[in-house]
Amino acid sequence: MPAPATLLATTADGHLLVLSIVVPVAGVLLSFVLSERYVRQIALAVMPVGAAIAMAILLALPRGDGFIVYLLGAWSPPLGVALRADGLSAVMLAATAIIICAVGVYAAADSPPAAGSRRVPFAFWVLLMAIWAALNTIFVGGDLFTLYVALELLTFAAVPLVSLEGRADTLRAALRYLLFALVGSVFYLMGTALLYGLYGTLDILLLSHRVSAEPGVLIAAALMTSGLLAKTALFPLHLWLPPAHAGAPAAASAILSGLVVKGSFFILLRLWFDVLLALPGFAAAQILATLGAGAIVVGSIVALRQDRLKLLVAYSTLAQIGYLFLLFPLALDGQGRLDTGPALAGGLIQAISHATAKAAMFMAVGSIYAGLGHDRITGIGGTARALPLSVMTFALAGFALMGLQPGGASLAKELLLLETARTGQWWWAGALQFGGMFTAAYVLLVLVHALSPPDQPVALAARPRRGSDLAALALALCSLLLGLLPWQPYLPIPYALESKLFGVESLVKSLITVLGGTALAILLSPWPHPLVGTMAWKDLARVLGPFRRAGLGLGGLVERGDRVLRQWPVAGICMLAVTVLLAASMFGAD
Amino acid sequence: MGTVTVFGLCAAAVVGLGLYGVIANPQPLRKIIAFNLLGSGVFLLFGVIGRRGAVAGIGSDPVPQALVITGVVVAFSATALAIALLLRLFDTAGPATLDSDAPTRPRPDRFGG
Amino acid sequence: MSIATAFEIMLAAVLLGLGIWTIVVRETFSATVGFVAYGLLVALIWVRLDAADVALTEAAIGGGLSGVLLLGAAARLRDAEPMAEAAPGKLLRATAAALSVLTTATLAGTVLLLPDPAPSLAPASVANAWATGLSNPVTNVLMAFRAMDTMLEKVVLVLAIVGVWSLAPDSAWGGRPGPRHRADPYGVLAFLARLLSPVGIVVGIYVFWTGANHPGGAFQGGAILASMWLLATMAGLADAPPVSSRPLRLILVAGSGLFLIVGLAGLLFGAAFLSYAPALAKPLILGIEVAMVLTIATTLGLLLSGAPERSAEPWAP
């Protein structure tokens, strides 16, 4: 089956794709030359331009049959390299632009970010623009090797952000992150080599028409998938994520947790939904979703046991990454092949919703940390009164993330639940519901502590910065309103769905999530409840005692297991084992 | 048995060696060396594939060659960044392995007062 | 079995032997030496694979510069050697070994079963060489057909520099990278540096210049120039510039910057981003490559020097 000719020629508006990459790259180079004094101004000038380009692509896409193509150097694939944008690219470009701008405003209002250091702001702004360039290249890249270079660009921009503060633990986290990510890239590259050897092209569109289920392709698919999983930090390949995301400065953590892991996730979607459609995806999809369910359970339980807010939020990222992988089995069609339907749309909306909410959460936690001088969860009593904007941001982002209406997560959940019903895989519906409850658990845990009265009056170490806090709040609001946006021109969403967002039924669902989350928080969190002194609580505690001891025992076991999995040799072996498992499952199905 | 077979097997073996080294060697510097070995094996794989694509007049498909040249430069930059991180870590914290992060343990449970 | 095949088998066997030595030997320093030898031997394999451009790159960057980098780090970390207590247990090592062997076997099987005749873009790249006027097909792929990858990879180099520099202590920000080498001005090293540098620079420029039509090019030439600069600094004849220097920073982005500007000119006035008008293609590509060779040489040299450690003041004896 030859590729349609329309997708092999530059379309109108194609230059927008070039600009989406070139503008942030130019920002990087310019600020590198003009040095420390102008770097912030350059970044703040690049941001509106980049955002305008993303919006222009968003507007141009429906005009061009849902595709924008640009042939670089006017060379057509397979010899040349093409840039292509579809609905997935367009929404990711827009979401990225919004998050980068919000984080930029947050960091710019936070001046000076590290008093006395010219090194930190210089590195931060240059790397922020580099991450933008890398992500945009990933979203519009039409060639697997170009995507590899973009992936490396992303890693090179992300790793130094982790160790900006220069403490030994952050340096160790950065080194671990770099090495594990590099091994992941090599796996991806190995698969790329095999695909070139089989088909003589790395163009995604050409490959999609040439690939068939031969043994070499199955091996390549397994290698590339596990390499990308390592970069996305899907359980059990997550050893690098918690220390890296918890150790970076707040603005950097927001980018790392919100955006950077979505880069490799997006390539994974490209790989499975564009390149490898001909493969028997059933078993592989079940494996990916099983790992995802494992991530939800382990990430959430360990998050509930953290005594530092930043680590709690980092472990929550681990769980949320797992949630994204539930889309794979739900996208299967009747023949056991992957299909671009509502499940893919749901997964992507969930990714965007997590990106916006998690970035807002990390920024809020950063403000709390700066205000209190610490982020111990048992010591944040009274924060709601002292830092109302930050706590409100955390709450709104948390509500969006746990799937309350009209958040993006609730729309995503509806879409995915729709597909569990269609494909008859009810067990994944359970995982989806539990995912929401677990999210509710750790969000409520933090909120209850923040709303409780303080032991002693809160003495702020630093005054809250209004600009920063408003940027974070705006992003949290974005996340909470995602469910209201018109997604249909870009993503395959059934029209009947959006009207169901409000109503009694959805209210009941939200209530169940919140109640389930409360129960989980009480059973699994080891922290003394702030209302512990009251009489009613004592009665409740007597009834719940045995259950809670069991829950805490289980939590302790999970935490110990997590510590074993985060050892380097174990994680490395897991990576190889996942590769073998994926390959074997596809051979079995073939 | 031709060039392609010999070096194809060799590339696969180097990949395996590199993988084992990355996983099993405890010192970070040894992991970095093993990563370089692993990368070199993957580049050889490209080389073998390029050699298979030889046509009259060109002994090897130029596209995989170009990809390898790009890849070698990226791998070198990665090595440089990793070593700079390692040396800085050494200066800050003394000898250390990657696994010696002290995870924060939850304090004892005080539920119910 | 022909003599050539016997030679190739021997080459592969020695290479694997060095690889195994590199992984299993106890001392990190020995492992590093093993890797340098491995890197030089790999270049020979690339020659046998008829990929002279890659052979030059591997010898210069993979073997040479990576070797210097690793040897330097190994020397500095020597005191930290006794760290065996963290070695993974027998069971873990056995599992890792088994899975690695499985990966090797699968990969070998896949490579041997690749289709015949192999798909190739060699004919297409030859057929389109008219567009650039250069006859080295690898240079054509790097500079024209896949120019985007090359441009982005130059940005990776800039980011690597930013990453390494970002590790500087705040007090040394803007200063000179690495330790100042004080060698005996009449010693062997200085003598070698005085003798070799001019030759090396000529060779580097030649390798770069010939890359238009023969094996060679900006990467390979840049790597050779970088190693000459390194030799000079190690001999104490030159010093690394302070990282705040504006001219230095201009040189570091010259390659990617010019690439970007030429690309944008193509977008505005020509056929497409990163396209060259056929009449101008050769001078434009050579112009970008001149900028690139400067950038690559400086970048590689600075990556070897590490993070800023000293103040910007010039060293006075």
Ranked by mean pLDDT, the top range of A127-136, A492-501, C25-34, C232-241 is A127-136
Q: Are residues C32 and C144 in the same domain?
A: no
Q: CB distance B110–A528 less than 8 Å?
A: yes
Q: CB distance A200–C152 less than 8 Å?
A: no
- Convert the pLDDT of each residue in C245-282 to its tens digit: 888 899 999 999 999 999 999 888 888 898 888 888 88
**Within 10 Å of residue B82's Cβ, how many Cβ atoms?**
25
Residue of A179, A231, A442 best to disrupt the B interface, most CBs of B under 10 A: A179
Asked if A497 contacts A485 with a C-beta cutoff of 8 angstroms, the reply is no
- Convert the pLDDT of each residue in A303-315 to its tens digit: 999 989 999 999 9
Tokens representing residue A416 in the block: 């995915």
Output the pLDDT for position C82.
46
Output the pLDDT for position C314.
52
Q: CB distance B40–C167 less than 8 Å?
A: no
Flag the least confident range among A77-86, A375-384, B77-86, C38-47: A375-384
Q: Are residues C157 and C263 in the same domain?
A: yes
Neighbours of chain C (3+ CB pairs under 8 A): A, B
Residue A3: is its pLDDT beyond 60? no
Q: How far is A585 from chain C (nearest CA, A)?
A: 15
Tell me if A352 is assigned to some domain. Answer: yes
For chain A, percent of residues with pLDDT exceeding 90: 56
**Among all chains, which residue has been given the structure tokens 């130059």?**
C154
How far is Cα C61 from Cα B77, in angstroms, rounded to an integer?
A: 10
SS3 A372: helix
Output the pLDDT for position A487.
86
Within 38-67 of B, beta carbons closer than 8 Å to C belong to 40, 43-45, 47-55, 57-63, 65-67
Q: CB distance A179–B98 less than 8 Å?
A: yes
User: Quick one: A423 exposed, middle or buried, by C-beta within 10 A (0-12, 13-18, 19+)?
Assistant: middle
Q: Are residues C248 and C147 in the same domain?
A: yes
Q: CB distance C145–A80 less than 8 Å?
A: yes
Output the pLDDT for position C313.
58
- When pLDDT is cut at 50, 70 and 90, the band that residue A463 belongs to is confident
Tell me if C233 is assigned to some domain. Answer: yes
Tell me if C95 is assigned to some domain. Answer: no
- Convert the pLDDT of each residue in C275-295 to its tens digit: 888 888 888 888 888 898 889
Q: Are residues C158 and C19 in the same domain?
A: no
- When pLDDT is cut at 50, 70 and 90, the band that residue A1 belongs to is very low
How far is Cα A129 from Cα A252, in angstroms, rounded to an integer?
A: 12
Domains of chain B, first to last: 3-93 (1.10.287)
Q: Residues with Cβ < 8 Å from A584, sequence gap 6 or more? A: none
One-letter amino acid of A238: H
Output the pLDDT for position B86.
92
Q: Are residues C65 and C134 in the same domain?
A: no
Q: CB distance B69–C76 less than 8 Å?
A: no
Residue A62: is its pLDDT beyond 90? no
* CA nearest to C50 within chain B: B59
Residue B31 with chain C: CB contacts under 8 Å: none
Output the pLDDT for position A501.
57
Q: CB distance A186–B74 less than 8 Å?
A: no
Tell me if C38 is assigned to some domain. Answer: yes
Q: Residues with Cβ < 8 Å from A155, sequence gap 6 or more? A: A178, A181, A182, A185, A231, B78
Tell me if A380 is assigned to some domain. Answer: yes
* CA nearest to A79 within chain B: B63
How far is Cα A86 from Cα A488, in angstroms, rounded to an integer?
A: 13
- Convert the pLDDT of each residue in A16-45 to its tens digit: 999 999 999 999 999 999 877 888 889 999
From residue A289, alpha-carbon distances to A296, A432, C26, C243 in Å are 10, 11, 41, 48
Tell me if C118 is assigned to some domain. Answer: no
One-letter amino acid of B63: V
Q: For residue A69, what is the enclosing H or E element?
A: strand A68-71
Within 113-152 of A, beta carbons closer than 8 Å to C belong to 116-119, 122-123, 126-127, 130, 133, 137, 145-146, 149-150, 152
- Convert the pLDDT of each residue in B82-92 to its tens digit: 999 999 988 88
- When pLDDT is cut at 50, 70 and 90, the band that residue C315 belongs to is very low
Task: Give yes or no for B2 touching C (CB within 8 A).
Answer: yes
Asked if A555 contacts A304 with a C-beta cutoff of 8 angstroms, the reply is yes
Asked if B76 contacts C61 with a C-beta cutoff of 8 angstroms, the reply is yes
Asked if C156 contacts A127 with a C-beta cutoff of 8 angstroms, the reply is no
Backbone angles phi and psi of A525, in degrees to 5: -90, 130
* CA nearest to A378 within chain B: B107
Q: CB distance A182–B110 less than 8 Å?
A: no
Tell me if C18 is assigned to some domain. Answer: yes
Instruction: Report the mean per-residue pLDDT for chain A.
Output: 88
Residue of B19, B26, B84 with shortest CB distance to C100: B19
Q: How far is B63 from chain A (nearest CA, A)?
A: 8
Task: Give yes or no for B102 touching C (CB within 8 A).
Answer: no
Tell me if C48 is assigned to some domain. Answer: yes
Tokens representing residue A209 in the block: 């028409």
Closest CA to A33 of C48, C245, C94, B41: C245
Say how many domains are in chain A: 1
Neighbours of chain B (3+ CB pairs under 8 A): A, C
Q: Are residues C70 and C170 in the same domain?
A: no
Q: Are residues C135 and C202 in the same domain?
A: yes
Tell me if A38 is assigned to some domain. Answer: no
Residue B113: is its pLDDT beyond 50? no
Tell me if A492 is assigned to some domain. Answer: yes
From residue A111, alpha-carbon distances to A362, A453, A553, C89 in Å are 18, 31, 45, 49
One-letter amino acid of C101: V
Backbone angles phi and psi of A541, in degrees to 5: -60, -40
Residues in chain B: 113
Asked if C76 contacts B90 with a C-beta cutoff of 8 angstroms, the reply is yes
Closest CA to A321 of A290, A354, A343: A354
Closest CA to B98 of B35, B26, B30: B26
Provide the residue range defining the domain that includes A213: 142-589
Q: Are residues C171 and C275 in the same domain?
A: yes
How far is Cα B109 from Cα A556, in angstroms, rounded to an integer?
A: 11
Say how many domains are in chain C: 2
Which one has a higher pLDDT value, A432 or C61?
A432
From residue A242, alpha-carbon distances to A152, A245, A319, A454, B101 in Å are 21, 5, 11, 28, 11
Output the pLDDT for position A184.
96
Q: CB distance B98–A172 less than 8 Å?
A: yes
Residue of C111, C153, C244 with shortest CB distance to A35: C244
Residue A190 with chain B: CB contacts under 8 Å: 15, 42, 45
How many A-B residue pairs are in contact by the CB < 8 A criterion? 129
Output the pLDDT for position C316.
43
Flag the least confident range among A141-155, A324-338, A452-466, A541-555: A452-466
Q: CB distance B86–A175 less than 8 Å?
A: yes
Provide the residue range defining the domain that includes C10: 1-77
* CA nearest to A134 within chain C: C152
Asked if C154 contacts C255 with a C-beta cutoff of 8 angstroms, the reply is yes
Q: Residues with Cβ < 8 Å from C217, sequence gap 6 or more? A: B69, C53, C136, C138, C139, C142, C207, C208, C211, C289
Residue A523: is its pLDDT beyond 80? yes
Q: CB distance B92–A197 less than 8 Å?
A: no
Residues in chain C: 317
How far is Cα A544 from Cα A542, in angstroms, rounded to an integer?
A: 6
Asked if A171 contacts A113 with a C-beta cutoff of 8 angstroms, the reply is no
Tell me if C193 is assigned to some domain. Answer: yes
Average pLDDT over residues A533-560: 79
Tell me if A47 is assigned to some domain. Answer: no
* CA nearest to C87 within chain B: B26
Asked if A418 contacts A342 with a C-beta cutoff of 8 angstroms, the reply is yes
Average pLDDT over residues A111-124: 72
Residue of C54, C137, C219 with shortest CB distance to B47: C54
Residue of B9, B65, B97, B100 best to disrupt the C interface, most CBs of C under 10 A: B65
Output the pLDDT for position C317.
38
Tell me if C54 is assigned to some domain. Answer: yes
Which one has a higher pLDDT value, A528 or C130?
C130
Output the pLDDT for position C207.
80
